[in-house]
Amino acid sequence: MSKTVKLGDIANVTAGQSAPQGNCFSDKGTPFIRAGSLESLLLGKRENELELVSEEVANAKRLKLQPAGTIVFAKSGMSCMKGYVYVLKTPCYVVSHLACVLPKDGCSDYLAYYFKWHKPNQLVKDDAYPSISLADISNVSMKMHGKDEQQKIAAVLDKVTALIADRKEQLEQLDLMVKSRFVEMFGDGRFQTVRLEAICDFITKGTTPPTSKIYDKPFEGSIPYLKVYNLSDSGELRFFQAPQYIDADIHNGLLARSKVYPNDVLMNIVGLPLGKFALVPNIFAEWNINQAMAIFRSKGEVIPFYLMYAMMQPNVLRPFIEKAVGIRQINLSLAQCRELEIPLPPLPLQNRFADFVAQADKSKLEIKQGLEEQELQYNALMQKYFR
């Protein structure tokens, strides 16, 4: 049985306080949560690894301790556009940029899931000056179940969330395993190094068309357009939002240097962190890239799988990143890209590594299919409980 209530009727809605200034933090005490802390906490950082406030400083600054179970999210500044929601595991002090929501007699996890579905940033009225008032948070109208039902719902969602996290951890472990195998096979310095310009017959960067010529939907004669955010640490092309499109007829003169083909290696060369990669699969053939990315196309002396993982190694890019130039954005020039050096083992050894990567990719595909199923189940449950 559920009923519709206002959040302010079932929870205390408050905000944190100004952060202590100067040398007020110590290596012992109670954690102090800032808006910028939320992302790292959600990624697994522990609260006691943040800045700590001693009891003496807390008393002098009259800081109010927020209890464990308090739901916190950003209510002002650009951080509130990110929609991060976190539940305090221990009592903490909280910065004034964060809203604090503590159920009066209910399940904090249930309420946190509500805000993970109905993102707090939906309450922002002006994206140019993002802020959320405590009054608007208190006036949120929501469907509320009884306390026992809240706990059951939270337990179900916890189980699905744990399965999703486990699948993602498996994918990360496979990526680490591949990188470790590369170091094991090629990282001992026994192979002569070569410049990329000697083993790649095509090293160039893309071309960025005017913003007015980039479209959100496909049309006849259009081709999809890849951006830096599609690259990853694991060497896969990933999509966090739908692709954009450009007109092939209008940009015909640019496409020769911007079009990618299967087994091309892509790397971002503008903005930090430099060195995100992707190996182009068949389904992305003849897509276009922007000028923040470079294309590396092998002559045949080096297989693409090996080329990409060799370029991923920190010692390959580090000397050039240290010399990278840029006033507004740091970047690598094409001349520097051509000078990058990698070890060149015999092709049979490269192929052994490629076979290992292929087996890892097969395992990753199975895990990803399971992950997609779990994410679909999670979204269906959230829709069911919080629509």
DSSP string, 164-180: HHHHHHHHHHHHHHHHH
Q: What is the mean pLDDT of the chain?
A: 87
Which ranges of 227-333 would DSSP assign to H, the alpha helix?
252-258, 304-312, 314-323
Q: Which residue has the tokens 């159920």?
A: 103
Of the given ranges (39-43, 126-130, 132-136), which has the lowest mean pLDDT? 126-130
For residue 102, tell me if it sits in a domain.
yes
Q: pLDDT-based confidence at 254, cuts 50/70/90?
A: low
Say if residue 136 is in the same domain as residue 198. Answer: no
Residue 262 domain flag: yes
The verdict on 99 and 200 lying in the same domain is no
Does any domain span residue 236? yes
Confidence band of 194 (pLDDT split at 50, 70, 90): very high
Q: Do residues 82 and 226 share a domain?
A: no
Judge if 126 and 205 occupy the same domain: no
- Residue 99 domain boundaries: 2-145
Whether the pLDDT of residue 22 is over 80: the answer is: no
Among 79, 113, 145, identify where a domain stops.
145
> What is the rounded distance in angstroms from the CA atom of residue 22 to the CA atom of residue 34?
16
Q: pLDDT tens across 26-68, in order?
A: 888 999 999 999 999 998 899 999 999 999 999 998 999 999 9
How much is the pTM? 0.77
Q: In angstroms, rounded to a whole number, what is the distance separating the alpha carbons of residues 133 and 17? A: 15
Record the tokens describing residue 255, joined without a space.
Answer: 């496409």
The pLDDT score that the predictor gives to residue 69 is 94
**Is 227 domain-assigned?**
yes
Classify residue 306: in a domain, yes or no. Answer: yes
Work out how many domains the chain is built from and give that number: 2
For residue 131, is it within any domain?
A: yes
Q: For residues 281 and 205, state if they share a domain.
A: yes
Looking at the fold, whether 268 and 336 belong to one and the same domain comes out as yes
For residue 93, pLDDT beyond 80: yes
Please give the structure tokens belonging to residue 316: 């390959």
Could you tell me if 199 and 92 lie in one domain? no
288 versus 90: the higher-pLDDT residue is 90
Condensed to tens digits (0 to 9), the pLDDT of residues 333-374 reads: 888 889 999 999 999 999 999 999 989 989 998 999 999 999
Element (H, E) at 42: helix 38-42
| Model pLDDT for residues 209-229, shown as the tens digit of each residue | 666 677 778 888 777 877 777
The Cα–Cα gap between 23 and 36 comes to 19
Predicted pLDDT at 259 = 82
Where is pLDDT greater, at 234 or 16?
16
Domain boundary among the residues 123, 145, 167 is at 145
Q: Are residues 114 and 227 in the same domain?
A: no
Overall average pLDDT of the 245-260 stretch: 68
Residue for token digits 């470079």? Answer: 294
Q: Is residue 129 domain-shared with residue 199, that is, in the same domain?
A: no
Planar angle of CA 336, 357, 305, nearest 5 degrees: 30
Please check whether residue 112 lies inside any domain of the structure. Answer: yes
The Cα 376–Cα 114 span in angstroms is 17
The answer, yes or no, to whether residue 323 has pLDDT greater than 70, is: no
**Mean pLDDT for the stretch of residues 8-36:** 90
136 and 197 share a domain?
A: no
Specify if 364 maps to a domain. Answer: no
pLDDT (average), residues 133-139? 95
Angle between helices 147-186 and 347-386 (to 10 degrees): 170
Is 327's pLDDT higher than 60? no
Nearest CA-CA partner of 342 in 200, 160, 136, 145: 200
pLDDT at 84: 93
CATH number at residue 49: 3.90.220.20
Average pLDDT over residues 69-87: 92
Is the same domain home to 15 and 121?
yes
Residues 137 and 208 in one domain: no
Indicate whether 309 pLDDT > 50.
yes
**In the prediction, which pLDDT does 221 show?**
75
Domain final position from 145, 174, 209: 145
